[in-house]
Chain A
Amino acid sequence: ILNVEQSPQSLHVQEGDSTNFTCSFPSSNFYALHWYRWETAKSPEALFVMTLNGDEKKKGRISATLNTKEGYSYLYIKGSQPEDSATYLCASGNTGTASKLTFGTGTRLQVTL
């Protein structure tokens, strides 16, 4: 994988549903994996930064896992709420180009009542 790829591109769930998204990234020379939450008309906000294989991070109902050997990260949202509606971006950085995060195109989540 040369680029950062996110799936699905968009997702529509009902309030209370749990959901998850995938981020695939180049595993060679991995340095860090970032997740951002981007609400419409606002700027991206950092959710998690993970650097170690097996890392798991949690913030409220949102959690993320990291597998650097196979090059993927999952973002989970438990009991989705309408305020979770946003685009979720991931970005990866490699050693040697750690300053140059490569961003995926995001997963757009819409949560309805």
Chain B
Amino acid sequence: NAGVTQTPKFQVLKTGQSMTLQCAQDMNHNSMYWYRQDPGMGLRLIYYSASEGTTDKGEVPNGYNVSRLNKREFSLRLESAAPSQTSVYFCASSEAVQGAYGYTFGSGTRLTVV
């Protein structure tokens, strides 16, 4: 019963470095999401994928790119990390993009950019 698996759990980057956060779900969900969590703020949507082969911008997409590799996997890439991207990142999935379905979240990636 893995659910949503995110890797890595922790990462420290230097400004300007790049990295990819990986996310995989085994629930045959159609929709996947990337959120960031910052102190004093609610979870904010970075990008989402309504179904395999589609991706769309969320509330805070600047500085990020995503790839829906297949139905199971949805990766988030930081091309040139900035200190403002220090955050906790959560991947989530749901049966469909319509909000009537609850989300299943991964355990999070704590990213620090120095």
Contacts and interface: CB of A to CB of B under 8 A. Distances in A.
- Tell whether A pairs with B: yes
Contacts of A100: 45, 48, 58-59
Given A89-B42, A99-B31, A106-B42, A31 B105 contact: no
A101 interface: yes
- A31, A91, A98, A99 interface centre (most CB from chain B within 10 Å): A99
A85 to B, nearest CB: 19
Nearest to B44: A103
B30 to A, nearest CB: 11
Interface of A: 4, 31-32, 34, 36, 42-46, 49, 51, 89, 91-93, 98-106
Interface stretch (B13-21, B68-76, B77-85, B92-100): B92-100
5 contacts: A46-B104, A89-B42, A99-B31, A99-B97, A99-B98
> At the interface, is chain B mostly helix, strand, loop or mixed?
loop
A2 B48 CA distance: 21
Contacts of A102: 42
Nearest to A43: B105
Contact of A43 (B56, B98, B108): B108
A23 to B, nearest CB: 11
B3 to A, nearest CB: 9
